[in-house]
Amino acid sequence: MLSIAELIISMLLFFVLFFGIGFLLNMLLRMSWIMAVIYPLVTIFIVDKVRLTEYFTNSSHAFSELSHGFSRLAVADILILGSGMAGAIVAGLVIKLLRKKGYQMF
């Protein structure tokens, strides 16, 4: 059970973490939305307990376990993972804005 303070700190940490990773990936790869595309895969690896190879060898079981894993998430987990996605999206928006303003290194 998370307290409100832990929830807020966790949401802030996920936002900043994925904003920073997304910002750096956008600068290095020059693809504005790369982290917003990669982030759902990251959440799958966080939530899912199935090995990656099972998606190819026993896909029906793996995808049913994935949907079961997402349905078991608590509201706090959804908020924390959602704030990470928000950080990835904001990183793409900031990079777009910086490129629009003329910063060529971004």
User: What's residue 78's pLDDT?
Assistant: 95
Average the pLDDT over 50-79 and give the result: 92
**Span 37-56, pLDDT tens digits:** 899 998 998 898 888 899 89
Average the pLDDT over 66-71 and give the result: 92
Average the pLDDT over 63-90 and give the result: 94
pLDDT score of 106 more than 60: no
How far, in Å, are 4, 15, 26, 30, 37 from residue 99 at the CA level?
37, 22, 11, 10, 20
User: What's residue 105's pLDDT?
Assistant: 65
